[in-house]
């Protein structure tokens, strides 16, 4: 730049991504099954797009959290996928169903329990959802990237702790290891009971591997916590859009991620852990990411303040986050 040049004016351009158009209830005629988007295939040998389907009235409860399934969404036409009401889409496993927990049942299930979460922002979204569903609000909210304890849950009958991992923004040589973060989480959450009153939920977008399963099993054995309930959350969609300074996973890598999730969850079950398969249900909804650079968030927290009120309440939005959070609650409760 020439030293004689000056900036006369600047302009700021703000882009807003338009969400998927929700056509409402007016012209729905079909229930459509939707397993994967033809523009982002993770199972190339299986059908993509929409197919007319139906829902069974009574299905047995799903015993595990890795049952294959698809989204069921009401549309005007399954051939074209037009006129769909995505706000009413539900995740339907094959041959079984996951229970939906009311606030009262959730409060009963979590009474006297400690929930320990370790993972990235997607895992934090699950923790936030469970707290909000239990309390009817998040009393406060922050995007913590460290360890935080939430004591005021379920009238102080439930304790929730969250530790962020991995610390991707730090230089590689300064990032705390998974083992270190896990032990710090245990230490901050003491005392811990060696039974199902203690629940550990581990997972994130795409970082968990068999090595982490071995580290968890070793840590639980060493700390005398082999009797707790451990839930491993599977992989998630995201990072498939090339964004400057962010990790990029090309769409052609998605079949490998789908295969890796299946291997990791099978390995976790061999160790006696519970699992929640989340990759297929998120990859199929890649058009429904909420705000964020990484294109991997299916939740957001919104504050609501009633007219005349001095304090508001925080709600956790996002039907995809709700769906896989309910699968994890099925494994806990």
Residue 167's closest CA among 204, 130, 197? 204
Tokens 């929730």: give the residue. 160
Band of pLDDT at residue 24, cut at 50, 70 and 90: low
Neighbouring residues of 309: CB distance < 8 A, sequence distance ≥ 6: none
Strands (E), the chain: 30-34, 50-53, 69-75, 90-93, 114-119, 147-153, 158-164, 198-203, 229-233, 274-276, 300-304, 313-317
Q: Phi and psi of 28, rounded to 5°?
A: -65, 130
323: which 2 tokens? Answer: 């769906």
- State how far the Cα of 239 lies from the Cα of 247, in Å rounded to an integer: 6
- State how far the Cα of 64 lies from the Cα of 77, in Å rounded to an integer: 33
Residue 184's closest CA among 127, 118, 229, 120? 118
16: which 2 tokens? Answer: 């807003």
Mean pLDDT, rounded, of the chain? 88
Question: In this structure, what is the dihedral angle of CA atoms 258, 205, 200, 182, given to the nearest 10 degrees?
Answer: 120
Expressed in angstroms, the distance from the first to the final Cα of the chain is 64
Indicate the domain borders of the chain. 30-93, 103-332
Structure confidence by residue, pLDDT tens digits, 70-83: 999 999 989 888 78
79: which 2 tokens? Answer: 């051939």
Residue 103's closest CA among 128, 78, 135? 135
**Average pLDDT rounded to a whole number, residues 82-94:** 90
Structure confidence by residue, pLDDT tens digits, 210-262: 999 999 999 999 999 999 999 999 999 987 777 776 777 788 999 999 999 99
CATH top class, domain 103-332? alpha beta
Residue 228's closest CA among 253, 275, 260, 194? 194
Tell me what percent of the residues of the chain surpass a pLDDT of 90: 61
């Amino acid at each position: 730049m020439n030293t004689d040049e000056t900036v006369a004016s600047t302009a700021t351009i703000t882009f807003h991504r338009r969400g998927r158009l929700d056509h409402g209830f007016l012209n729905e005629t079909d229930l459509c099954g939707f397993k994967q988007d033809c523009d982002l295939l993770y199972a190339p040998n299986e059908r993509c797009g929409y197919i007319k389907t139906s829902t069974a009235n009574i299905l047995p409860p799903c015993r595990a959290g890795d049952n294959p399934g698809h989204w069921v969404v009401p549309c005007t036409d399954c051939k074209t996928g037009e006129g769909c009401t995505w706000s009413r889409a539900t995740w339907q496993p094959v041959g079984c169903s996951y229970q939906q927990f009311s606030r009262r049942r959730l409060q009963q299930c979590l009474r006297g329990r400690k929930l320990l979460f370790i993972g990235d922002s997607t895992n934090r979204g699950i923790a936030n959802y469970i707290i909000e569903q239990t309390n009817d609000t998040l009393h406060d909210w922050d995007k913590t990237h460290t360890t935080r304890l939430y004591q005021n849950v379920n009238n102080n009958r439930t304790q929730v702790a969250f530790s962020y991992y991995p610390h991707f923004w730090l230089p590689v040589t300064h990032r705390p290891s998974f083992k270190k973060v896990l032990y710090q989480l245990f230490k901050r959450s003491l005392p811990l009971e060696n039974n199902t009153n203690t629940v550990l939920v581990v997972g994130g977008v795409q970082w968990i591997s068999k090595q982490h399963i071995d580290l968890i099993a070793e840590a639980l054995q060493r700390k005398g916590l082999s009797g707790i309930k451990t839930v491993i959350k599977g992989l998630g969609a995201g990072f498939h859009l090339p964004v400057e300074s962010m990790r990029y996973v090309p769409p052609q890598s998605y079949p490998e991620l789908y295969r890796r999730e299946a291997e990791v969850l099978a390995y976790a079950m061999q160790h006696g852990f519970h699992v929640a398969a989340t990759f297929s249900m998120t990859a199929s909804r890649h058009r429904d990411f909420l705000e964020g650079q990484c294109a991997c968030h299916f939740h957001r927290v919104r504050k609501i303040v009633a007219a005349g009120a001095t304090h508001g309440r925080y709600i956790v939005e996002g039907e995809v986050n709700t769906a896989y959070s309910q699968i994890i609650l099925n494994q806990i409760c």
